[in-house]
Structure 1
Amino acid sequence: MRVFLTVVMAFACFMAFAQSEKEIIILNLMSKEPIAEASLVDKDQKIVAVSESNGKIVGDFSGVYHVFAMGYDIQKYQTSETTIDTVFLKVKSYDFDEIVVTGQMRPTSVRESLYKVDVIGIDQMQSRGAVNLTDILANEMNARIVHDNILGSNLILQGIAGENVKILLDGVPQLSGAGGGFDLSQVNLHNAEKVEIVHGPQSVQYGTSALAGTVNIISKTLEEEKWQGGLSAYYESVGQYNADIALGRQWKKWNINLGGGRNEFTGYASPMVTEARRMNWNPKVQYLGNAKIFRDYNKLRVGFIQHFFHESNTSKGAPDPSTGGRTANDHLTTSLRMTSGVFANGEIGKNWYLNILNSYQIYSRNTASYLVNLNDESSKKRSEAEDEFALVNARGSVTRSQLLEDRLNVLLGYDYSMQSASGERIDKERDDLRNLGVFTSVNAKIGENVETQLGLRYEYNNTYDADIIKIGGVHLPLIPSLNIKWNMGSKDHFFRFSMAKGFRVPSMRELYYDFQDANHDITGNRDLGAEVSDNFILSGSYVLVQEESRKASINPFIYYNRIHDKIESVYKPSDAPVGRTYENIPYFQTQGVNINVSWEENNQWSATVGSGLLGRTGTDASDQFFWSPELSLQSWYRLKLLQTKFSLYYKYNGALAQFELDEEKGLVDRTLGDYHFLDVSATRAFFHESLIVTLGCKNVMNVTDVEQTGEGSKGLTARTGSNSELPIAWGRTAFLKLTYNINQ
């Protein structure tokens, strides 16, 4: 009898233990295939189990967990009373469902936007080893980057350079400072959540300088009621050493986010540099800081933002032969940018959305010349000059949506800015530039498949008349735009069409700034007129395959820009290698076409192939077109065995010409030769994505200097000059990027 009772009790204990075990199956939401190496993480952020090749986890589990798997969104999981649970993970997506805010009436998805918007997320920044905007945009279609060792890296978008591209940081317009456009190397991505690139004009929303496109860097926001953050380190074999930190936390309705970093580049001399000590990629050290504090009032968010940037750029001179090579003249350029802003955005009632952003920004630039004793490296300051630019910007809008049974949305807004400048290199008889815009947009749905948006902006400038529209012989200061989106029977097949006027007044730099050093002699022109432009864009997306495990689409893009009285840098006689001033060109025109084909297979691999052709002409081209082709490939492959993602970014940039008329009105050009960029990398996540490691190679084709040919004197920007070669990149390099996320 005792033996029988012992057996029964043992059997009962075994059954109770067996029933306490739970089987969890981890599946792909789309394909329903099992996911291996998925981590089950408890509330203390500890990995308690990892799924097998069949997607199964077996054990004694109870309570709330999170499931992590590389390439998938994190999924919260609550155990049930059954013995078998199934958890579905969604593939990470940064395409049509990504929410964008730049230039929109209210936050909307890429698919539903009336504009063509490209989004570059954290995954792409990590796999590219991106440090600043230059790293992100260099491989994008329609984009070219031109470099100068003092004035920075300038973006050419849709064949248009300089001031016609709007750069925003958390929606705040950025001052261009001293270059022919905004220096992209001064926009660091250490705290970026994503980069939104809006193609085409945003002149109704943002006014001046928003013709070719708008680039908005969106900062991270950590919104958990615990301390979160991250540490990041970056090394590149050319001599780049970066480190940054971010921290954030939410207390009930309050939130604070802080960040900072340091970037150091030791400089690079390409093969075209033959003199000792000289470099065409100057050594520089950057310090970065950011803060964001806000409070939520129901669905309205009110807060404060602060961005800090400091850079020291050292230009080393060649040994002076007059002193037997014992001395040299060096230049130290120090840049400081401080941006402060207050904002309020969100819903203020049913179907009402408010967006207000007021900011103040200063940009100072100090250039000092030193006589350096090369025997003991001691130095003596010989001269110094400092300039300061300031920008006050106040903008706001309110949107009333879902009128007429959700068929009509109306936006009203204002935009005020004031630019000022001071310093030894600024014309003493300068005037501040003040601009006031009042704008409206009306969005209407026509039937089930057509959506239109009409925009209109009243523009006042204290120096220039914005007489853009002519009605009945009367010129009116109005800037119009029209957007149309047509869904071809499905939200996956659509076309977008946009047309808009643009208006741009000369910048403080183009009007009043004089810059001279050993290599540059650039002067402003007080007699410049304002630019008036027309832009037309046709883009679309057609889904070729839409299945649970695969997706393919084709995306055409056609654009046309015509600018009247375009402000161009033109040659002027000078002893410096780069002698330029500014003039109005009667008209300038660009047009082009791109086609991208994308394919993604079961979260296993993805490829996007693009091809394009850019044409440019104008008064200085005698109406002759100069053409430039482009090719691109962006691809990744996920090797499940190693839990590693391999990425490839390729871009072919065809020859690009600058054209002008010589003194005898004959057509001459200066053409930059073609070149290829290729970057490759491998990314692996460890400790349920707490540590992310990327190892890669940039510029595999080892591009450094690209030859310029032709008799023209005009370079791609004011700083290109007449050198026979132009520095494009600093050659082939290896890089390592480490990112450690804390409580994320």
Structure 2
Amino acid sequence: MKLNYIYILVFALFFQSAIIAQNTSIRVIDSQTNQEIPYVTVALYKINGQLIRGLVTDNNGMVRFDLDDRVNYSVSFLGFETLEGQIGKGEHLTLEMTEQYDTLDDIVITGQYGPKKADKSIYKINVISSRDMQQRGVNNLAEALSQESFIRLKTDPSTGTSLEMQGMGGENVKYLIDGVPIIGRVAGDIDLSQINMDNVDHIEIVQGPMSVVYGTSALAGVINIITKKNKTSKNMFTVNGYTDTKNNYNVGVFGSISKGNSTLSVSGSRNIFQGIDLDLNIANNNTTGKDRYMEFKPKLVYNGDIEYAYRKNDFQVSVKSSIMNSELKNYANENPFTLIAYDNNYITLRSMNTLNFSDRISKSSSYNVVGAYTYFKRTAEDIRSDLSELTHTRTGTTGTIFHNLMTRGTFTVAPEESKFNYQFGWDINSDKGDGDRIEKEASMSDYAAFASLQWEPISSISLQPGLRYIYNTSFETPLIFSMNAKWGIIENLNIRASYAKGFRAPSLKELFLDFHDSNHNLAGNPDLKAETTDSYNASLLYTINKGTSTIKLEPSIFYNDGKDVIALIRTNPVTEEYRNTNFGGRRTRGFNINLAYLNKGLRLSAAYNKTGESYDYAGDAIWTKEVSYANYTLNGQYNFRKAGVILMANYKLYGKTPALATSSDALGDYYFVYKESMSDLETTLSKKFFKNKLDLVIGGKNLFDNYWSRTYGYENGQEFRSPINYGRTFFAKVNYRF
């Protein structure tokens, strides 16, 4: 009997050993510190390339799994070089990951036939990673873009922050979230400070017209915000918080549950700004010495996202709904005798609802279809505030509503080893607007079919012609054409060049806006023509690798020749009415030079951007003298690896900037005024704790203490000060992963 127990025990130990032997594992460590790296993504593929499943390392840097056959693996983690190889049944690998100091391995999808490394893309695409945003303590899209040398930010305390690229902004820049257009512009711009970054994986920026691929409003370029996707089998939950010395208090959460082929992800955030008074605009009737008016208005913003995704092999379907609600308060100074003030609340609601399908039909062909409905509503409430009785009564409400329905589909054929790949698809957008500030219920639809071909006559040269046919229900449209070329002269030297025809139909607001109150006298113009642009871009990327050092030189040039350019100008100097009008033409040209040096934990970069503008006001081929302006950026970062500390400093100088002013003597005459130069400096220090679960970032923004900027050069000798920032700010941000 005892002998039987011994046999059973020996058999159990042998069986357990056999199970352990069959158990396969991968352990991931840092090549410099030899410490385990948790939360690393490990993807397993069949030898033919088909995805089997995704895994995430635990707190000890381990993943364990069972295998029947030998498979390929890909190990990736933000900020480290990707490792690839093969593993078989019963093997136990320890892999050393090396920190990645270059950005050439960033994977991009904007305008691509499929996910591709940035340096292999035929387009010049700038990428802002979530790692960079985390280390800088970024809260919104405006802060994320602020250090890009080719982007100029403009801040309006009431309408928010907007930008210019290649001398163009407003309706000429297309904003996307996972390929879906963002609607709801105020004064022609999307308020970038409303777009939260907590659930963002990275941002892709394409400069120059992308009208063939993305249609109207993509004259200056495209900014595509790519949100986080949980493609692993691990549940995830993170929480973050932010506070600073200028009355900002933010909190956000992200959670994702994965079971089998299904994943449910939820995120939400609340951002509070309590307002800043710069005392630049105190009402003349204020005799009490108290000032309720704030240049930077108090703002409360809520963001929420929920997404369900089903993935099996190469087939994916996802349903996502996002909502943003923002309330901005405008406090006015009270009448000193009645203690009555007339305030305003501005409420913005944006809801985006998306359905996406994609699949690989065969080894060489795939499709992607997306459909979305976006609802946008902006409401202005008039509030009567009795400061003696502390009561607030709503006395009036006006609102504007916009609806957008869109669907976009692409079919791609890209055989391996083929010199020809091609893609074709459709893009349909339907817009509808109504409300108190729209002259009538307005609508416009845009139906487009597009196609492009990638041809590699030799391995170092890629050519991509593209065509887009558009039917617009309100405007005649030209056939849109583009040609892109990439030449890899040698391994580390790439040249890109492109020509593109741009097209932009006027927006419903530009056509039908009717906004008249005590502070505004704005009118739409139903007789507007559509804008067209001929754009030329070229860039060079030269990379020198020597030992652990890398040097990158990246110069680029651009030239845009626009016709029937839409601008908001003063049409009646007596009533101060402003109306959207077509200029005959606008030309912008310039260049950008980036130089970067990377060596282990050290990253240094410098950039110079210059842009020139000239106008043909009447369309008679009489062009103004070109005026130009420049940006300068300097960036430095050092990673103290053993201490786990990253120190970063970013500097940007905005040169003297021109703007158009209307002559008071004769309508149709314009001249340039100038906003004085200004510079900005931010520094941050970030460190990880508790086996990389906790990220802490502390730092300072606007360290040169900018509050306002002076605009000068008006014909009557006047100068104006306008608020641009609320001064030197110190902040702390934490992110904790459970």
Q: Give the distance between the partners of 1:67 and 1:688, measured in 2 at CA.
A: 19
CA shift in 2, pair 1:232/1:383, >3 Å: same
1:112-123 pair list within 5 angstroms: 112-123=120-131
Distance 2:155 2:604 in 1: 29
For residues 514-565 of structure 1, what are the alpha-carbon distances to aligned partners after superposition, in whole Å with 9 as ceiling and x for unaligned?
2345533322111111101111100110013343x12111001111111101
1:194 aligns with 2:207: no
AA of the residue aligned to 1:424: D
For 2:77 and 2:353, how far apart are their aligned partners in 1?
Answer: 39
One-letter code aligned to 1:672: K
Aligned counterparts, 1:85-164, within 5 A: 87-92=95-100, 95-164=103-172
- Alignment equivalent of 1:398, drawn from 407, 411, 417: 411
Look up the match of 1:718: none
Closer, same or farther in 2 for the Cα pair 1:46/1:464, shift >3 Å? Answer: closer
Counterparts of 2:454 and 2:509, CA distance in 1: 37
Task: Tell me which residue corresponds to 1:265.
Answer: 273
* Length, aligned pairs only: 677
Distance 1:451 1:316 in 2: 57
Secondary structure of residue in 1 paired with 2:143: helix
Contact 2:409 2:425 in 1 (8 A): yes
The reply on whether 1:451 has 2:466 as its aligned counterpart is: no
Tell me how far apart the structure 1 counterparts of residues 39 and 562 of structure 2 sit (CA, whole Å). Answer: 57
Give distance in 2, aligned partners of 1:359 and 1:278. Answer: 40
Aligned pair partner of 1:301 in 283, 307, 316: 316
Hey, what does 1:736 align to over in structure 2? 732
SS in 2 for 1:257: strand
8 A Cα contact 1:145 1:156, kept in partner: yes
How has the CA–CA distance of structure 1 residues 574 and 421 changed in structure 2, closer, same or farther, with 3 Å as cutoff?
A: farther
Q: Give the corresponding residue for 1:366.
A: 379
Q: Aligned runs of 1:293-442 on 2, under 5 Å? A: 293-321=308-336, 323-324=337-338, 326-402=339-415, 405-428=417-440, 430-442=441-453
CA 1:101–1:76 in 2, change beyond 3 Å: closer, same or farther? closer
8 Å contact from structure 1 (residues 77, 87) kept in 2: no
**Equivalent-residue separation in structure 2 for 1:723 and 1:709 (angstroms):** 5
Q: Tell me the equivalent position of 1:460.
A: 471
Percent sequence identity is 27
One-letter code aligned to 1:425? R
**Are residue 215 (structure 1) and residue 218 (structure 2) matched?**
no
Q: Provide the residue aligned with 1:178 in structure 2.
A: 186
Give the Cα separation in 2 of the matches to 1:731 and 1:308.
30
Q: Who is 2:629 aligned against?
A: 628
Please tell me whether residue 608 in structure 1 is matched to residue 609 in structure 2.
Answer: no
Per the TM alignment, residue 69 of structure 1 is displaced from its structure 2 partner at its CA by 10
The Cα offsets for residues 626-673 of structure 1, whole Å up to 9 and x where unpaired, read as 110111012211123532000111111101101356344655222111
| Pairwise CA distance, 1:92 | 3.5
CA distance in 2, matches of 1:68, 1:585: 51
Output the CA distance in 1 between the equivalents of 2:77 and 2:357. 36
Answer whether contact 1:223 1:248 (CA < 8 A) is retained.
no
In the TM superposition, residue 139 of structure 1 has moved relative to its aligned partner by 1.8
Which whole-Å deviations, capped at 9, do the CAs of 1:723-743 have from their partners, x for residues lacking one? 70222211110011100112x
- Corresponding residue for 1:20? none
> Is the partner of 2:119 in helix, strand or coil?
coil
The 1:320/1:487 distance shift into structure 2, 3 A limit, reads same
Deviation at 1:94, TM superposition (A): 6.2
Equivalent residues of 1:94, 1:121 under 8 A apart: no
Query: In structure 2, what is the Cα distance between the partners aligned to 1:39 and 1:614?
Result: 45
Other structure's SS at 2:171 match? helix
CA contact (8 A) 2:426 2:450 kept: yes
Matches within 5 A, 1:644-663: 644-660=645-661, 662=663, 663=665
For residues 251-307 of structure 1, give each alpha carbon's deviation from its aligned partner in whole angstroms, at most 9, with x where no partner exists. 111111111111100011225233411112110101110011111232121111111
Distance 1:723 1:264, change over 3 A: farther
SS of alignment partner, residue 510 of structure 1: helix
Find the aligned partners of 1:271 and 1:94 in 2 and give their Cα distance. Answer: 45
Describe the SS at the equivalent of 1:349.
coil
Match of 1:697 in 2: 700
Asked if 1:284 corresponds to 2:282, the answer is no
After alignment, is 168-177 or 373-382 more displaced?
A: 373-382
Matched to 2:606, the amino acid is: V
Could you tell me which of 671, 675, 687 is aligned with 2:690?
Answer: 687
Shift in Å at residue 684 of structure 1?
Answer: 0.1
The whole-number CA distance in structure 1 between the counterparts of 2:731 and 2:84 is 34
Q: Which of 580, 593, 597 pairs up with 1:595?
A: 593
Whole-Å Cα distance in 2 between the matches of residues 102 and 70 of structure 1?
20
Equivalents in 2 of 1:294, 1:605: separation in Å?
Answer: 39
CA deviation after TM superposition for structure 1 residue 422, in Å: 1.0
Structure 1 range deviating more: 271-280 or 150-159: 271-280
Structure 2 counterpart of 1:504, one-letter code: R
Match of 1:560 in 2: 559
Say whether the 8 Å CA contact 1:177–1:363 is kept in structure 2. no
Residue 573 (structure 1) shift: 4.3
**Which AA in structure 2 matches 1:567?**
I
Match of 2:709 in 1: 706
Aligned to 2:46: none
Paired with 2:690 and 2:77, the residues of 1 have a C-alpha distance of: 11
Contact 1:37/1:69 (<8 A) preserved:
no
3-state DSSP of counterpart to 2:414: strand
Secondary structure at the residue paired with 1:354?
Answer: strand
Q: CA deviation at 1:712?
A: 6.4
What amino acid is aligned across from residue 445 of structure 1 in structure 2? E
- Structure 1 pair 546/365, CA: closer, same or farther in 2 (3 Å)? same
CA contact (8 A) 1:355 1:397 kept: yes
Among 661, 668, 692, which residue is 2:671 paired with? 668
- The one-letter amino acid of 2:689's match is F
Greater mean deviation of Cα atoms: 641-650 or 617-626: 617-626
**Is the contact between residue 154 and residue 180 of structure 1 (CA under 8 Å) also seen in structure 2?**
no
- The one-letter code matched in structure 1 to 2:235 is W
CA-to-aligned-CA distance 1:54-93 (integer Å, 9 cap, x gap):
xxxxxxx9989x999995469899999xxx9964212135
Which residue pairs with 1:586 in the alignment? 584
RMSD: 3.1
Q: Which stretch shifts more, 176-185 or 103-112?
A: 176-185
Q: CA separation in 2, counterparts of 1:173 and 1:70?
A: 27
**How far 1:572 sits from its partner (Å)?**
4.2
